[in-house]
Amino acid sequence: MALNAKQSINPPSLVFKVFAVVAAVGMLIINLVGFLDAQTDSALGCGSDWPLCNGKLIPSFTNEHVIIEFAHRALVGGFAIIAGIFLIWALIAYRQFLEVKVLAWLGIAFILIQSGLGALAVLFVNPVSVLALHLGFGMLAMIGVVLLAIFMFQMGANAKGDSSGLSMRNEPIGSQTRYGILAVWLYTYIAIYFGSYVAFRGAGVACPTWPLCNGKVFPGFSGLIGLDFIHRLVAVGLAILAVWLVIHLRKVSRSRPDLVRGGVWFLITVLLQIATGANVALSHLATGPYMLHIASLMLLFTVLSYLGLQVMPGGQASRQPIRPERTAAARISNRHGRGVTEHS
């Protein structure tokens, strides 16, 4: 049944969009600094104190580990609050949308879980598997916020009558496309977790040469060398899946250009991820190349998660009309019209 004008939804305001961008960028920064914290072994830069740092609210910055860990905590606290406000604001203003409910609660849940695991990592000695989960859950928290921000901008574009990812989702796609993208997403997330596990095990420099591992095509699967070699095989598998996805999405190039563009960007980011990974190995795990590798990973996962959003069926609310944005001239004209009516 069609909805009348009274049932239409107001598009996101400019202030709301700015808040969304700050929250999304903040989550990207949090994850980058978190990986820097792990890479430089700065997790205990504030000692075993939490939430204080070395027993102080503002510690003495005696070395880089204290600076990095304190910055990590400060940024996490600040941007987590901003992200939390954005997520709750979205839930209140746009609770009709299934996407909003799923993404907002995803972000809230994993921000809380991430914060809890971060505190436990300081207070207790956690196994490598838990430390890898800490970083993996951080990626999920980031995706919840970033995708929700993207969805808000899609709503704004839809309200202006522009072609948007929101309107394109009404075009049907086959189950093979939908489940294929979701399968690639799951494989990628497992690859991210495994990569974190390899790094925490100290196996990131077990193969200091590239593309061969210590000059061998097959160095075996045992020990740290085996872990690093499997990590490389997983990356090759991801590249194969990315090529398959681009070829497969050509079938829907006319009806779903959003998926085609997303598939191409996914392939580009996978190749970038492999290139930066090679640089990490050749640089013997230097901090600069490692952070570039992580930045490309976050870009890769964001692009793939966007594809996941675009193939998900929307709720009934997603088909509700969004009230077009009025220009300043239209608002002035409307007020002037009301004034004339009142004086007549």
Angle, helices 175-200/14-39, rounded to nearest 10 degrees: 40
The three-state DSSP-derived secondary structure of 103-121 is HHHHHHHHHHHHHHHHHHH
**Length of the chain measured in residues:** 344
| 285/136 Cα distance (integer angstroms) | 20
Report pLDDT digits (tens) over 223-258: 999 999 999 999 999 999 999 999 999 999 888 999
Residues of the chain with pLDDT under 50: 1-6, 317, 327-334, 340-341, 344
CB 67 within 8 A of CB 181: no
pLDDT confidence of residue 323? 65
| 236/53 Cα distance (integer angstroms) | 42
| 107/84 Cα distance (integer angstroms) | 8
Report pLDDT digits (tens) over 45-100: 888 777 888 888 888 898 999 999 999 989 988 999 999 999 999 999 998 888 99
Query: Which amino acid, 277?
Result: G
- Nearest alpha carbon to residue 199 among 69, 68, 42, 39: 39
Please state the pTM of the whole predicted model: 0.86
| 166/256 Cα distance (integer angstroms) | 11
pLDDT confidence of residue 322? 63
| 10/17 Cα distance (integer angstroms) | 13
pLDDT confidence of residue 125? 64
